[in-house]
Each structure stands twice: as structure tokens, then as C-alpha cells.
Chain A
Amino acid sequence: QVQLRESGPGLVGPSGTLSLTCVVSGGSFTSPNWWSWVRQGPGKGLEWIGEFYHGGPTTDYNPSLKRRATISLDASKNHLSLNLTSVTAADSAVYYCTRIGGGGFDYWGQGIRVTVSS
């Protein structure tokens, strides 16, 4: 059973960089799977941020984030990271680490709430 767990600061200052890490158990980020980050802002719907595949490595991002997002893997620690630069209050959200499967997201972490505020 794949389990994902997100970690990182719950508060980021405006114009700063949001940095989150995801750890997987029961699986590996270097397996032949795609992995992704999804977020949900307060009172908003779900938004796909981007995806990562180790065999490349290959990354794809939501164009709406205007190249502010970077997903990377530290294979030595089996950590999948998300960096989001130049954050504003609009980036306040619960961020989920997910595995891609079945045309969508078949495994989700519990999510981590991040607030952008000074």
C-alpha cells in the first residue's frame, strides 16, 4: 500500500519560495510511475500543479503557474520536492502529493496547509 506524506513550513512570506517535501512508503519515486502535486485553496476547487517521472527525468507543469513551480527528486533520500517561487496570498492552499494512475490520482498524501502571509 502506497503511503505519501507531505512536510514543510506552514507559513511562507509574500514573494518568498514555498518548499515542500513528499516521502513515500510502500513504493518508490524511482518506480515506473508518475507523481504529482495538487492543491486546493480555501473555498476553491482542486488544481493540478505539475507531475514528475523519474525515467527522464520528465516534468510537466500547469501553465497557470507561469513557470513558478519546480518538481524534483532527491533519489538518495527518496524525497519528491515542490518549489513554488514568488508566492502570493493566492498560493495559500492545502498541498497534496499524489501518485498518478487510472487517468487521475490514485494515491494521495494527507495534505499540508500552507499560508502565505507576512
Chain B
Amino acid sequence: EIVLTQSPGTLSLSPGERATLSCRASQSVNNHPIVWYQHKPGQPPRPLFSSTSSRATGIPGRFAASGSGTDFTLTISSLEPEDFAVYFCQHYSGSPPMYTFGQGTRLEIK
């Protein structure tokens, strides 16, 4: 089973700063790359990027996803107040079917 490790656990930044969030897989996941979600209290997780690195509908261009193999990055170029949330990465393995989540990175206002 693939394990996803996100870092840092908590990231404290100010609006306008650049955020870089990491998701590392325990083995290569090029067959089904990483999906990213934003999660705010009291709301369901919101998909940011699909496994094809396509930005989901309504996601602003300041969000970018990159990476391959075992190392993936979510970058927010200039933080807006509404971006402070928990971010999860997720992977799908097909044989047998299994969806795995990282433990999350909390992005908080400094």
C-alpha cells in the first residue's frame, strides 16, 4: 500500500506570500498521479486538481500542482485570506482498488 507523507504539518504564512506544500509517496505513482484537495472547517473537501493535473472548475490560477514519481508539490503563488485551510493529497491504486490520503498540511495565517 502506498503511503503519502505531507510536509510541513503546519505552514504559517501571511497573505500575499507564496505557499509550497509537499506530498511524498512511498513509491512511484506515475500510473495514477496525485489529486489535491482544500478542506475548510464545516465544509466538504474541495478538489483542486485531478490526477491529470487539470485544475478543477473554479480554482484560481494562483494554485499550481506539479511533480512526478514520488514527489509532488502544491504551490499557491500569492496567498489570499480564503486560502487558509487544510490541504490533502490523495492517490488511487487500481490493483486492488485503494484510495489513500496524506495526513494533511494546515495552512494558517501568521
Report the count of interface residues on A (CB-CB < 8 A): 21
Contact B52 A103 (CB under 8 A): yes
B33 touches A103 (CB 8 A): yes
- Could you tell me the distance in whole angstroms from the C-beta of A55 to the nearest C-beta in chain B? 15
Q: A36-B99, A46-B88, A46-B90 are in contact. Are A106 and B47 (CB under 8 A)?
A: yes
Question: Could you write out 22 A-B pairs with CB less than 8 Å apart?
Answer: A45-B88, A45-B101, A45-B102, A46-B88, A48-B98, A48-B99, A48-B100, A48-B101, A102-B50, A102-B54, A103-B32, A103-B35, A103-B50, A104-B50, A104-B51, A104-B99, A105-B35, A105-B45, A105-B47, A109-B44, A110-B43, A111-B44
**Footprint of A on B, CB under 8 Å?**
32-33, 35, 37, 43-47, 50-52, 54, 56, 88, 90, 92, 96-104
Expressed in whole angstroms, the Cα–Cα distance for A110 and B40 within the complex equals 12
Given A96-B44, A105-B47: A60 and B101 interface contact (C-beta under 8 Å): no
| A residues at B contact (CB < 8 Å) | 36, 38, 45-48, 51, 60, 62-63, 96, 101-106, 108-111
Q: Are A104 and B103 in contact (CB under 8 A)?
A: no
Contact call A62/B98, Cβ cutoff below 8 A: yes
For B50, list chain A residues within 8 Å (CB).
Answer: 101-104, 106
Q: Which residues of chain B are within 8 angstroms of A46 by Cβ–Cβ distance?
A: 37, 45, 88, 90, 101, 104
Inter-chain contacts of B47 with A (CB < 8 A): 102, 104-106
| B97 in contact with A60 (CB, 8 Å) | yes
**New A-B contacts (14) at CB < 8 Å, excluding given A47-B101, A48-B101, A104-B51:** A45-B101, A46-B37, A60-B96, A62-B98, A101-B50, A102-B47, A104-B37, A104-B50, A104-B92, A104-B99, A105-B35, A105-B45, A105-B99, A109-B44
In the complex, A103 Cα to B47 Cα: how many Å? 11
